[in-house]
Amino acid sequence: MRKCSLDKIDALFAEIAKNAALYLPVDQTDGSAAYKKWSEGTVWSKTLNTVRSPKDFFFPQTEDLMKFKTEGKNIEVEDIRSEAEDFVVFGVRACDVRSFDVLDRVFLTEPVDSFYANRRKHGVIVSLACTRPVETCFCKTFGIDPAAPAGDISAWKTETEIFFEANTEKGAALLETLSALTEPGDASAVAEQKEKIAAVMAKLPLRDLTTDGFGGGKTNELFDHPAWEELSSACLGCGTCTFVCPTCQCYDIKDFNTGNGVVRFRCWDSCMYSEFTKMAHGNNRLTQKERFRQRFMHKLVYYPENNEGLFSCVGCGRCLAKCPISMNIVKVMKKIGGNKGE
């Protein structure tokens, strides 16, 4: 374990940025935080979490997949793939680190998504323990410890210092480059920090929320639950929940004629949209109730059934904070799963 004085944090950021692009949470004018590329003078945000998750670095909202030109019956395809830049994402919370486990099972399973795999290869995740979890946090429901955030390097911040511990070869290599700015750290300080975080988590309003009513094998029991009608009745179908979610991975692929060839690109999509998966024969989910049910059944039943019990929710609380009608996965878990957690 290594540590660095917070007085030297800008020097540490500068050292990282010598060899790789560095991204970290930065305050925005509206009071929120977003990941921005570090440059001299950039101030690291103290906000608990960013509005958009770091999923964007590996699965961006839009990206070009290929270009091609057609002339008669001839098609000339241009492979536009290239090696990604080496980059470091600093300050990732434990919930978002877990989200990469969910995404990896989607994009790194055969056939591997080469665009995603390329970015995962070149990216290093420096996680940060949550010193002050907030009322919308419920990561512990899914077995995530905010005091042990994993990633390539785990970090813990006190009032005066930041501690680092490498978890992977990529993390160890990065930490080695920072040896001149760090020194051996005392594990007792980290242990004390973990105790403080656990004490905060024990007081949060969603501390008793459980997944007991969900998981693999629950499809027949939950699919026709009468509460779906009531829960979905106010849903606007705006897709906000899916766009701030760190684990949602639905996308659409379209071709765009530039006038000098065709660009094939993909962009995020949402199961909450009326045209999601629409085909020539129409849409297989015609009502908002069906689309609403699909979203939550996938996260709480379908995904864990096919992924050794791993849920496709990490309890980050973004959907709780951003849904315009205050409908979210917690309300679904309480109503559908008979959950008594407050």
Q: Measured on CA atoms in the order 109, 111, 116, 117, is the torsion positive or negative?
A: positive
Q: How confident is the model at residue 339, as a pLDDT? A: 60
**What residues contact 298, with CB distance under 8 A and at least 6 apart?**
271, 312
Cα 64 to Cα 66: distance, rounded to the nearest angstrom: 6
Cα 266 to Cα 276: distance, rounded to the nearest angstrom: 14
Count of CB atoms situated within 10 Å of the CB of 310: 14
Q: How confident is the model at residue 316, as a pLDDT? A: 96
- Token code pair at residue 282: 């129409």
Query: What is each CA distance from 271 to 228, 241, 245, 286, in whole angstroms?
Result: 16, 10, 12, 12
In our burial notation (b when 16+ CB lie closer than 10 A, e otherwise), range 208-225 reads: ebebebbeeebeeebeee
Nearest partner of 86 among 111, 121, 44, judged by Cα = 121
Element (H, E) at 222: helix 219-222
Q: What is the residue whose two structure tokens read 């690109």?
A: 265
Amino acid at 325: I
Strand partners of residue 62? 267
Q: How confident is the model at residue 182, as a pLDDT? A: 94
Q: How confident is the model at residue 165, as a pLDDT? A: 96
pLDDT by residue for the chain (342 residues), tens digit each?
A: 999 999 999 999 999 999 999 999 999 999 899 999 999 999 999 899 999 999 999 999 999 999 999 888 888 999 998 899 999 999 999 999 999 999 999 999 999 999 999 999 999 999 999 988 999 999 999 999 999 999 999 999 999 999 999 999 999 999 999 999 999 988 898 999 999 999 999 999 999 999 999 999 999 999 999 999 999 999 998 999 999 999 999 999 999 998 889 999 999 999 888 777 776 666 677 788 999 999 999 999 999 999 999 999 999 999 999 999 999 999 999 999 876 544
Cα 16 to Cα 170: distance, rounded to the nearest angstrom: 13
Q: How confident is the model at residue 10, as a pLDDT? A: 96
Q: Cα torsion at 140, 143, 146, 151 (round to 10°)?
A: -150
Q: Coil, strand or helix: which one is 274?
A: coil
**Cα Rg, the chain, nearest whole Å:** 22
Q: How confident is the model at residue 279, as a pLDDT? A: 67
Cis peptide before 226 (omega within 30 of 0): no
Length of the chain (residues): 342
Yes or no: say if 162 and 101 are a contact pair by the CB < 8 Å rule: no
Q: How confident is the model at residue 70, as a pLDDT? A: 86
pTM, two decimals, is: 0.91
Helices 9-19 and 169-177, interaxial angle, to 10°? Answer: 120
Query: What is each CA distance from 228 to 219, 231, 257, 284, in whole angstroms?
Result: 13, 5, 41, 17
**What residues contact 48, with CB distance under 8 A and at least 6 apart?**
93, 130, 132, 133, 134, 137
